[in-house]
Amino acid sequence: MESFDLELPARAPGAAPGTAALYGVVSSGNLEVLVEAGPSPDRCRFHVETSAHGFTDVWQAVLADFAASHRVGGLSFSIHDAGATPAVVSLRLAQAVQSLEAP
Amino acid sequence: MTRAPSYREATARHRVAGLLDAGTFVEWVGPGARATSPHLAALGSPVSFDDGVVVGEGRLAGERVLVIAQEGLFNGGAVGEVHGAKIRGAFERACTQPPRAVVFCIDSGGVRLHEANAGLLAISEIMRALFAAQSAGIPVWALVGGSCGAFGGMGIVARLCDAVVMSEEGRLGLSGPEVIETVKGVEEFDARDRALVWRVTGGKIRRTLGEATHLVEDNLVAFREAVVALLAAGQGPVPFTLETLQASQARLEARTAWDAALRDGQSLWDRLGLADAALMETEQFNRRLQEVS
């Protein structure tokens, strides 16, 4: 397993998760993402644990793109990944944010 | 025409949401608690925030029920130490704060092999806690319609339940198809023969044999309606008495008298006059089965 943390500036504040919200499942080519309140309204945080080694730069590009295009200020994302492709990562993150806005 | 969402394709969380009255579910030891498996972490395997099982309480048709839902997509729904402890805890809660029933969405290949003895112990703890809940007068109803079915220790647990609601897509057994093929050889059982697997372990044959008490369509509404019907019927636990055990024994003895020609669902259905059972819609199958039994 490989893990890393990333903190990015956030464009706009996101919907506050009442309790921790989980989206997705840890299975081959898939991931789960836990969304919780983060410490600062103008930043978002990511913690990633992945079974695919050596793709940190790809992760950072995908997460930066996600943070720039969604309202994620004040949110903290914890990811357990089992080899999801970048497209699946983007999709699950977007679904997680959407599930907060319209539970 | 829009159809109700498939039970088989839904995740454990979606199943819970689809079964219960909207907005009533309260989860215990939810993902935010981060009760993940120390064994998987030690092996460098991916962990899950809920260790592959959702437990909590909610309302179903207004009645308070406990719900346990295994996530078949995470390690085949297999039971590890934390996963098992959450299920055991739910049954223990059922004894101290009795709900109307425990609804158990089983979707599991059995013990999580990564956790070996801890997983085996967890299965026996689940069985003991389940018996305690039943002794306290709380019925336990298994729903089996996920991609992993109910096998190994969880196959036994399913058969301890007071009702077993299956879809045709669901499977129930002790040793899984691959295990049988590995141990007894491909001549005995070809695990790649999907039709054979379902003729032996699928919902229709389990319903025919009486091991499943209900056969429903593969959708969340149908599974919910089956539970609503059990609630409405005032169904309690099956009494654990000498009479029920003797009836069960008699049923099994009658089965041992069957001849060797009865090898799978099809041969049984042929004999019962239900030759086209495999092709029947669920409603028709249920009606015809009732007619011949």
- Answer whether residue A11 shows pLDDT above 80: no
What is the rounded distance in angstroms from the CA atom of residue B264 to the CA atom of residue A102?
47
Partnered with residue B172 across adjacent β-strands are: B150
Position B258 confidence tier, pLDDT thresholds 50, 70, 90: confident
What is the rounded distance in angstroms from the CA atom of residue B250 to the CA atom of residue B211?
14
Distance (Å) from the alpha carbon of B3 to chain A's nearest alpha carbon = 21
User: What is the pLDDT at residue A100?
Assistant: 86
Q: A2, A19, A23, A25: best mutation site toward chain B, by most B Cβ within 10 Å?
A: A25
- Print the SS3 string covering chain B: CCCCCCCCCCCHHHHHHHHCCCCCCEEECCHHHCCCCHHHHHCCCCCCCCCCEEEEEEEECCEEEEEEEECCCCHHHCECHHHHHHHHHHHHHHHHCCCCEEEEEECECCECHHHHHHHHHHHHHHHHHHHHHHHCCCCEEEEECCCCCECCHHHHHHHHCCEEEEECCCEECCCCHHHHHHHHCCCCCCCCCHHHHHHHHEHHHHHHCCCCCEEECCCHHHHHHHHHHHHHCCCCCCCCCHHHHHHHHHHHHHHHCCCCCCCCHHHHHHHHCCCCHHHCCHHHHHHHHHHHC
Mean pLDDT over B68-78 rounds to: 97
Mean pLDDT over A22-45 rounds to: 94
Q: What is the average pLDDT value for chain A, to the nearest integer?
A: 92
Mean pLDDT over A78-100 rounds to: 95
Q: Which two tokens stand for residue B236?
A: 């309690």
Distance (Å) from the alpha carbon of B44 to chain A's nearest alpha carbon = 6
Which CATH superfamily, name and number, covers B12-172+212-237? 2-enoyl-CoA Hydratase; Chain A, domain 1 (3.90.226.10)
Give the number of other Cβ atoms within 10 Å of residue A9's Cβ.
12
What is the rounded distance in angstroms from the CA atom of residue B278 to the CA atom of residue B264?
12
Rg of chain A in Å (alpha carbons): 12
What is the rounded distance in angstroms from the CA atom of residue B144 to the CA atom of residue B166?
5
Q: A2, A19, A27, A78: best mutation site toward chain B, by most B Cβ within 10 Å?
A: A27
Q: Which of B13, B44, B50 is opposite residue A1, by nearest beta carbon? A: B44
User: What is the pLDDT at residue A12?
Assistant: 76
Which residues touch B120 (CB under 8 Å, ≥6 apart)? B111, B153
* Chain A touched by B234 (CB under 8 Å): no
User: What is the pLDDT at residue B257?
Assistant: 87
Mean pLDDT over B91-103 rounds to: 98
SS3 A34: strand
Domain that holds residue A91: 2-101
Report the complex ipTM. 0.92
- Answer whether residue B29 shows pLDDT above 90: yes
* Chain B touched by A19 (CB under 8 Å): yes
Picking from B180, B106, B89, the residue whose alpha carbon sits closest to that of residue B142 is B106
Q: Which of B11, B32, B41 is opposite residue A19, by nearest beta carbon? A: B32
Mean pLDDT over B237-257 rounds to: 92
Mean pLDDT over B227-242 rounds to: 94
Q: What is the pLDDT of residues B144-177, one digit of tens each?
A: 999 999 999 999 999 999 999 999 999 999 999 9
Distance of CA B141 to the CA centre of its chain: 8
Residue B193 sits at the vertex; the CA angle it makes with B148 and B276, to the nearest 5 degrees, is 95
* Chain A touched by B46 (CB under 8 Å): yes
Instruction: Give chain A's domain count.
Output: 1
Residues of A in contact with B31 (CB under 8 A): 20, 22, 32, 34
Mean pLDDT over B258-273 rounds to: 91
Mean pLDDT over B41-57 rounds to: 97
Q: Scanning every residue of chain A, which has its alpha carbon at the shortest distance from the alpha carbon of B34?
A: A34
Partnered with residue B111 across adjacent β-strands are: B79
Distance (Å) from the alpha carbon of B16 to chain A's nearest alpha carbon = 14
What is the rounded distance in angstroms from the CA atom of residue B73 to the CA atom of residue B78?
9
Mean pLDDT over B186-205 rounds to: 96
- Answer whether residue B1 shows pLDDT above 70: no
Mean pLDDT over A96-101 rounds to: 88
Q: Which of B13, B41, B74 is opposite residue A26, by nearest beta carbon? A: B74
What is the rounded distance in angstroms from the CA atom of residue B293 to the CA atom of residue B183?
35
Mean pLDDT over A25-47 rounds to: 94
Taking an 8 Å cut-off on Cβ atoms, the answer to whether B47 and A26 are in contact is yes
User: What is the pLDDT at residue A103?
Assistant: 60
CATH number at residue A20: 3.30.230
Distance of CA B35 to the CA centre of its chain: 24
* Contact status, residue B95 vs residue B105, Cβ threshold 8 Å: no
User: What is the pLDDT at residue A16?
Assistant: 76
Give the number of other Cβ atoms within 10 Å of residue B166's Cβ.
30
Picking from A86, A23, A24, A26, the residue whose alpha carbon sits closest to that of residue A59 is A86
- Answer whether residue B132 shows pLDDT above 70: yes
Q: Scanning every residue of chain A, which has its alpha carbon at the shortest distance from the alpha carbon of B48?
A: A26
Q: What's the Cα-to-Cα distance from B101 to each of B26, B94, B228, rounded to whole Å?
A: 16, 8, 11
* Chain B touched by A76 (CB under 8 Å): no
Distance (Å) from the alpha carbon of A65 to chain B's nearest alpha carbon = 25
Mean pLDDT lowest among A56-60, B216-220, B232-236? B232-236
Q: A22, A76, A92: best mutation site toward chain B, by most B Cβ within 10 Å?
A: A22
- The dihedral sign for the CA sequence B216, B221, B227, B233: negative
